[in-house]
C-alpha cells in the first residue's frame, strides 16, 4: 500500500480514505468542537498523508502514522478553537474490581437470551453506548475509541496520542467503567427480559 501511495496510485488512496475516514472523524471529534471542524481536520490530515508519504519511514504501521498526523492536527485545531472541556467527574467511577490487570472484564455484563426482542434491545444498547462514548471526557474518549472501537493495540494508542502506557491504562479503565455503568443501566434491571410477548 505504501509503495502504491508513493506512486500516486489514486485507487490505493481511495481505498485508504474509504477504510479510515469515518474512524478519523470520530477521533477528531474528541479534540474539536463540531463535526465540520473535525471534517476539516481529517481533510488536512489526508493532505498531510499525500505530501508526507515519501518521508514515511515505516517505523510504525501506516494506520498508526496516519492517526498520529490526525491527532497532531486535531490538537492544534482544538487549541485554536478554544474548545471548552468539562471537568472530569471522577466521583462514582468505582469498579476497580470489575477489571482484571489486562483490562478485560472480571465480571462480564449481564448476559441476555438471543431472541428477537433481545436483539432489538441490543441494537438500542449499542446506540446508547455510542452516545456514551461520545459523552466521555475527551482523553478517555480518545483512548477507548482507539483501543475498543478501532481495535488498536496499547503501544499503537500510546504512540498516536503521545501518552505513557500507564496513562493509557488509567484512561481506558475509567472509560470502560463509565461505559459498563451505561450497559448496566440499560440491561441490568432485566426489564426487557420480563416483558410480555
pLDDT by residue (tens digit) across 170-196? 999 999 999 888 878 766 554 444 333
Last residue of a domain, one of 80, 113, 144: 80
Residue 124 falls inside a structural domain: yes
Digit-coded pLDDT (tens) for 75-107: 998 887 754 444 443 344 445 566 666 666 666
55 pLDDT above the threshold of 70: yes
Distance CA 121, CA 193 (A): 10
Residue 197 pLDDT class (50, 70, 90 cuts):
very low
The pTM of the full predicted model, rounded to 2 decimals, is: 0.62
Q: Angle at the Cα of 71 (from 170 to 91), degrees rounded to 5?
A: 30
Whether residues 189 and 134 fall in one domain = yes
Residue 189 falls inside a structural domain: yes
* Average model confidence (pLDDT) across the chain: 80
17 pLDDT above the threshold of 60: yes
**Closest CA relative to residue 28, chosen from 69, 87, 88, 86:** 69
How much of the chain is helix, strand and coil, in % rounded to 5? 70, 0, 30
Whether residues 189 and 101 fall in one domain = yes
Work out the average pLDDT over 20-47: 92
Work out the average pLDDT over 115-124: 59
Residue 105 is classified by DSSP as: B
Residue 71 falls inside a structural domain: yes
pLDDT at 21: 93
Total structural domains in the chain? 2
Work out the average pLDDT over 139-162: 92
65 pLDDT above the threshold of 60: yes
Last residue of a domain, one of 80, 108, 140: 80
Residue 86 falls inside a structural domain: no
Q: What is the CATH number of the domain that holds 59?
A: 1.10.1740.10
Residue 46 falls inside a structural domain: yes
Amino acid at each position: 500500500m505504501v509503495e502504491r501511495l508513493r506512486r500516486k496510485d489514486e485507487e490505493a488512496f481511495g481505498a485508504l480514505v474509504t477504510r479510515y475516514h469515518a474512524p478519523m472523524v470520530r477521533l477528531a471529534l474528541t479534540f474539536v468542537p463540531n463535526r465540520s471542524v473535525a471534517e476539516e481536520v481529517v481533510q488536512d490530515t489526508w493532505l498531510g498523508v499525500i505530501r508526507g508519504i515519501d518521508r514515511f519511514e515505516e517505523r510504525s504501521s501506516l494506520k498508526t502514522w496516519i492517526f498520529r498526523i490526525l491527532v497532531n492536527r486535531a490538537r492544534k485545531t482544538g487549541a485554536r478553537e478554544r474548545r471548552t472541556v468539562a471537568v472530569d467527574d471522577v466521583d462514582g467511577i468505582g469498579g476497580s474490581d470489575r477489571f482484571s490487570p489486562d483490562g478485560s472484564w472480571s465480571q462480564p455484563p449481564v448476559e441476555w437470551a438471543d431472541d428477537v426482542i433481545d436483539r432489538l434491545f441490543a441494537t438500542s444498547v449499542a446506540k446508547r453506548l455510542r452516545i456514551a462514548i461520545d459523552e466521555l471526557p475527551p482523553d478517555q474518549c480518545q483512548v477507548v475509541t482507539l483501543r475498543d472501537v478501532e481495535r488498536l493495540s496499547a503501544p499503537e494508542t500510546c504512540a498516536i496520542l503521545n501518552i505513557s502506557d500507564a496513562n493509557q491504562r488509567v484512561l481506558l479503565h475509567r472509560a470502560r467503567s463509565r461505559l459498563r455503568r451505561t450497559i448496566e443501566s440499560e440491561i441490568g434491571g432485566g426489564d426487557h427480559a420480563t416483558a410480555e410477548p
